Structures are given as structure tokens and as C-alpha cells.
């Protein structure tokens, strides 16, 4: 496979490993029009800070959990004056990334700088993406060819899904004496082959289950004489069918006769389809069957008719959303012109997100070049349309993270517009964060200014690659959690040394097959530790960096 080389590549290939881990500091919460110091726990986050450091700060909670990523990075046209202060130790990379990037001809290394900036960010985005997730990256002709090779290297050529073209302008400039570019692109890659795009449409010979245990509970109404079944004929009474998190509840009796359910009926369960989507599928001839007594409906979807859930493709004709629309949206939201030069239209971003998240109403979406917050706006709008509970994480490094990015989301939630064109608010909440201190000091000791809970989260993640969700309590003060029959303990006190010995083994409060214990010192002999399956790790020497 062809690979891309550029000046400085060898210095940034593993740079994401050297980025200091910083904690997120909560600034305020915003919940349906009210701002307070309390965290909303909504799952929606806006983070102000360098996106390379912010992406790393997200790893303990979100590695492998982001379902969709959309980013609109600098296109490197020479007009952006972009600069990223990445702490790369090599002098020439330092010089490059600490200076404003100029135009081609004036700055002969600008493409190298752009690639040096993008590579470590894409590496972290790949780590955050779920196995069945996808990433969309907006780009134009300046770096499109470089970006494709970069993504082939990080995500793999086999995981390239396609390239969307869309018209960014309604018309060109008739006064221009040169070729006028009207199109931009969104390059799409998946994490691996588990992903199905644009609704995950199977062929007509395969059935699709409508129940997914991790989905939110909802109610679907099925019309009479539209659902087939191989169950025995008779009257089926309302009640709970099946067990566990995949169980469904029949909300009314129905009569099954000759393999057809004769009555309209409702099922309550963790469905992947909404009522509107079910109605659409029935209208184009898709068939619903219920063949098991646990009442798990399956669909044989019609592959002969055009899928009506979304436009068939984006080409600037069938899908009408341009940068002019984005510009007008910002005027409407903020009540003034020239809010932001480069913003994407809400419907365009919503379409891309919806193409893989139509069935996943509890997904997490990340935008690490958030700009005006279009991705957050798109997600709120999508949830409002289909009753979803999708979450957004927006990262913006510039000072307008508060005055534009966050402010836009506030106004979308509260409502906006002039008296003759008021736009009703959309229910929603988010928390605003900044990047705090690094967890390690320059001398490699733990930063004692960092709260215990954030250090505990970090330790547990480095050991298990899992987020720490267990609540701390006084009876298990030093226990992080148990996983795979191993108990993880962090015996740490800010103002004193901790020593693991026979007298302090009472910190172990839950019986497991194995115990991994962090402390400052250990006086237990090796034979005792081996016989009792105790692994000691010294603070801070044995704490992993990632």
C-alpha cells in the first residue's frame, strides 16, 4: 500500500503518547435555560482547550465508546492562519507548529505542518472510536489527497467507506477568471467492518431484529393484518414476554389467525426503529414477522424500492444545504452578521451523523474541531425529531469556545430569532469544561493538586482500559473496582506515605482471586504475596503513562 512521507513525520508518529494527560475542570452546567455550577450529568460536553490534550483527557471515560466522529479541520488554504502549540520536542517541529501557517509560496512547508498537526489527533480519534463507529472529515481539494493517504495508514485501506461530495455554494462567481470550486468533500472511514452505513440496509433475504437490549425503551404500534407469525393461532394476552433486558411487553390482546396478526397491537421494548421509521418501512413493502413466543419482532426489508429514510446521496442537487445556509443560520441565532467565516450547515452535519446513527438513539458523537458548535446543534435537532438521546462532545481551542460555540448551544436550547421569526427552543443540557493541570509533575511525581477521584479514574483506566464507574464509599475507601476476579486498590494519601504491610492489608475489603495494590511502599515478603496472589505497584514509579 502506498504510504505518505513528509518532513517531521518521524517526530509525530508517536507524539500522542507524549502528550501530557490533563484533567477536565468543570466550569458550569447549562440545563434547559438555567446555568449553574452543578454538573448536569447530561453526557453532553463542551471543552475549551487544545484538542490534542482534550482528546487524551477523554480516553479514560470514552476509549472505544464514541459511535460517530465528525470534524471540520483547517483546510490549509492559506487563509486560516491556523496555529497549534503542540509540545513536540524536536526544534524544527516546535518552530513549525508555534508559528502561524502561511500561504503556499510564502510558506513552503505548510503541507508538512498540516500533516504534523493532523497525525497525532487522528491517532487519538481512532482510539476513541467504537468498533462499529465511523469518522467523517470535511475537507477540500488542498489536502484531500494527503488526508486520504493519512487515513489509509491509521484506519486501514479496507475501512474506507466513501467520499461524499456536496455543493458548498449555490452558485459560482461569474466574474472569476479562474476555475471556481463549488464542491467540498466528507471522507468517511469506519473503525472496522462491523459498521453498516445509511441505515444498515440488508438484502431482502435476510431478517433484521428490531430489539437491541442496549437501546432506550419505546413503544411501537403495529397495524392490523401487517405482521406475520408462525406461532399457533389463538388469542395472545397482554403482558411481559421474554426475560432480561431484551424482554418486550405486549400492551393489548390480539388475535392470530392463519399466520396473520389480525388486530392492531402495541409492543414496548428496547427497539432500534422509531414509529416513523416502522411506518416508512411498511409503506415500501417491508415485512414484519414474530415467530417466537418471546415476541421479538424481525424485519425483512424491501431492497427493491429506494430506501426512503434518507436522500440516496448528497450531490448538491438532491440534498440542499450550503455554506450560505450556515451563514444565514448564524445570523438568525446571533442576530448579527460575520459571526464566523467557515461554518457547516446544520442539515448537512445532521445527515452525515444520521447515516450511521439512525438506529442508535443513545450514541455518542464527538467533534474535536467544534467551531460554532454545528455538530451539537445538529444532534439536538436530530434528537428532537426522533426522540433520541444521543450525546455530543465538542472541543474548541479558540477563545470563542465560550462566546460562540457554547453560546450557540445555549440559544438553540432556549430559542432564538426575531419576533416575526422566533425559533422555539429544543430541550437539552450540557456541561462546559476547561483543561486543568497535568496529572504528573515535570519530576514525574503525582500532581497533588489533582483531586483523588480523577487520579483514581486514571489509574483504573491504565490497568483495565475501562472507565471507573463504581462510586467510592467509606467501607471500600481504597478499592477502585473489581474486574475479571481481580481487585484493584489505590492506597494513596495526599499528605503522607502509604505502606502496604500485614497491618494495612485491611484495606482489602472484597474477596477476589487476585489483588493489584498501589502504594508508596511495600513491606510484605515475596512468598506471602505470591501465595496470596498480591501484586504490588509502587506510586508513582509503576503508574503507566499512555
pLDDT band at 141 (very low <50, low <70, confident <90, very high): confident
Burial of residue 160 (CB within 10 Å: 0-12, 13-18, 19+) is middle
Domain range holding 60? 12-80+123-198+311-437
Which of 126-140, 209-223, 407-421: highest mean pLDDT?
A: 126-140
**Lookup: cell for 216:** 432506550
Count other C-beta atoms under 10 Å from residue 510's C-beta: 12
Residue 509 lies in a domain: yes
Q: Could you tell me if 479 and 356 lie in one domain?
A: no
Residue 105 lies in a domain: no
Query: Would the pLDDT of 108 be above 80?
Result: no
Q: Which of 300, 326, 346 is the last residue of a domain?
A: 300
Residue 94 lies in a domain: no
**3-class secondary structure per residue, 339-396:** CCCCCCCHHHHHHHHHHHHCCCCCCEEEECCCCCCHHHHHHHHHHHHHCCCCEEEEEE
Q: Could you tell me if 75 and 170 lie in one domain?
A: yes
pLDDT in tens, 441-491: 988 899 989 999 999 999 999 999 999 999 999 999 999 999 999 999 999
- The average pLDDT across 109-126 equals 92
Q: Which of 394, 411, 437 is the last residue of a domain?
A: 437
Q: Could you tell me if 432 and 467 lie in one domain?
A: no
Q: Could you tell me if 290 and 335 lie in one domain?
A: no
* pLDDT averaged over every residue in the chain: 86
Higher pLDDT among residues 345 and 320, named by residue: 345
Q: Could you tell me if 505 and 367 lie in one domain?
A: no
Q: Could you tell me if 50 and 73 lie in one domain?
A: yes
- Among 221-235, 307-321, 347-361, 530-544, the range scoring the smallest mean pLDDT is 307-321
Total number of domains in the chain: 3
Q: Which of 419, 437, 455 is the last residue of a domain?
A: 437
Q: Could you tell me if 475 and 432 lie in one domain?
A: no
Q: Could you tell me if 252 and 360 lie in one domain?
A: no
pLDDT in tens, 42-55: 999 999 999 999 99
Residue 53: per-residue pLDDT: 95
Cα separation, 356 vs 196, in Å, equals 7
Residue 242: per-residue pLDDT: 84
pLDDT in tens, 373-410: 999 999 999 999 888 899 999 999 999 999 999 999 99
Residue 5 lies in a domain: no
Q: Could you tell me if 233 and 270 lie in one domain?
A: yes
Q: Could you tell me if 27 and 175 lie in one domain?
A: yes
Q: Could you tell me if 363 and 424 lie in one domain?
A: yes
DSSP 101: -
Whole-number Cα distances in Å, 526 to 20, 484, 485, 511: 34, 23, 21, 20
Amino acid at each position: 500500500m502506498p504510504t505518505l512521507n513528509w518532513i517531521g513525520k518521524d517526530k509525530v508518529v508517536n507524539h500522542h503518547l507524549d502528550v501530557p494527560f490533563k484533567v477536565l475542570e468543570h466550569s458550569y452546567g447549562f440545563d434547559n435555560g438555567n446555568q449553574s455550577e452543578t454538573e448536569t450529568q447530561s453526557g453532553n460536553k463542551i471543552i475549551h482547550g487544545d484538542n490534542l490534550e482534550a482528546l487524551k483527557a477523554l480516553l479514560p471515560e470514552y476509549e472505544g465508546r464514541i459511535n460517530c466522529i465528525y470534524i471540520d479541520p483547517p483546510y490549509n488554504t492559506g487563509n486560516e492562519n491556523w496555529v497549534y502549540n503542540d509540545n513536540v520536542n524536536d526544534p524544527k517541529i516546535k518552530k513549525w507548529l508555534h508559528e502561524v501557517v502561511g500561504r503556499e509560496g510564502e510558506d513552503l512547508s505548510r503541507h508538512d505542518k498540516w500533516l504534523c498537526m493532523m497525525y497525532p489527533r487522528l491517532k487519538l480519534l481512532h482510539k476513541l472510536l467504537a468498533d462499529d463507529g465511523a469518522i467523517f472529515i470535511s475537507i477540500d481539494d488542498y489536502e484531500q489527497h494527503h488526508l486520504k493517504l493519512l487515513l489509509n495508514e491509521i484506519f486501514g485501506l479496507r475501512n474506507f467507506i466513501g467520499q461524499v461530495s456536496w455543493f458548498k455554494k449555490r452558485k459560482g462567481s461569474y466574474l472569476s477568471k479562474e476555475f471556481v470550486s463549488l464542491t467540498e468533500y466528507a471522507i468517511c472511514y469506519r473503525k472496522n467492518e462491523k459498521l453498516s452505513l445509511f441505515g444498515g440496509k440488508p438484502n431482502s433475504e435476510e431478517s433484521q431484529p428490531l430489539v437491541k437490549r442496549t437501546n432506550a425503551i419505546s413503544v411501537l404500534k403495529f397495524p392490523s393484518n401487517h405482521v406475520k407469525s408462525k406461532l399457533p393461532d389463538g388469542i395472545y394476552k397482554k403482558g411481559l414476554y421474554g426475560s432480561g433486558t431484551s424482554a418486550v411487553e405486549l400492551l393489548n390482546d390480539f388475535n392470530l389467525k392463519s399466520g396473520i396478526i389480525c388486530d392492531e397491537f402495541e409492543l414496548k421494548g428496547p427497539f432500534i426503529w422509531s414509529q416513523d421509521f416502522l411506518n416508512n418501512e411498511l409503506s415500501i413493502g417491508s415485512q414484519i414477522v414474530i415467530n417466537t413466543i418471546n415476541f421479538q419482532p424481525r424485519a425483512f426489508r424491501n431492497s427493491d424500492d429506494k430506501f426512503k429514510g434518507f436522500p440516496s446521496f448528497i450531490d448538491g442537487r438532491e440534498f440542499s444545504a450550503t455554506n450560505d445556509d450556515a451563514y444565514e443560520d448564524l445570523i438568525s441565532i446571533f442576530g448579527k452578521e460575520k459571526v464566523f467565516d467557515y461554518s457547516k450547515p446544520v442539515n448537512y452535519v445532521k445527515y452525515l451523523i444520521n447515516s450511521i446513527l439512525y438506529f442508535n438513539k443513545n450514541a455518542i458523537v464527538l467533534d474535536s474541531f467544534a467551531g460554532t458548535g454545528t455538530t451539537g446543534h445538529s444532534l439536538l435537532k436530530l434528537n428532537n425529531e426522533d426522540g433520541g438521546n444521543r450525546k455530543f462532545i465538542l472541543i474548541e481551542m479558540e477563545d470563542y469556545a465560550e462566546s460562540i460555540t457554547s453560546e450557540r448551544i445555549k440559544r438553540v436550547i432556549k430559542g432564538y430569532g426575531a419576533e416575526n421569526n422566533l425559533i422555539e427552543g429544543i430541550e437539552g443540557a450540557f456541561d462546559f469544561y476547561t483543561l486543568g493541570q497535568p496529572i504528573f509533575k515535570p519530576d514525574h511525581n503525582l500532581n497533588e493538586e489533582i483531586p483523588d477521584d480523577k487520579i483514581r479514574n486514571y489509574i483504573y483506566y491504565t490497568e483495565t482500559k475501562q472507565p471507573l464507574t463504581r462510586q467510592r464509599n467509606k467501607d471500600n475507601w481504597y478499592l477502585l473496582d473489581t474486574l475479571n476476579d481481580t481487585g484493584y486498590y489505590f492506597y494513596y494519601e495526599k499528605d503522607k506515605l502509604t505502606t502496604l504491610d500485614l497491618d494495612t492489608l485491611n484495606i482489602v475489603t472484597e474477596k477476589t482471586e487476585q489483588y493489584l495494590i498501589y502504594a508508596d511502599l511495600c513491606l510484605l515478603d515475596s512468598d506471602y504475596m505470591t501465595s496470596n496472589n498480591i501484586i504490588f505497584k509502587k506510586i508513582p514509579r509503576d503508574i503507566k503513562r499512555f
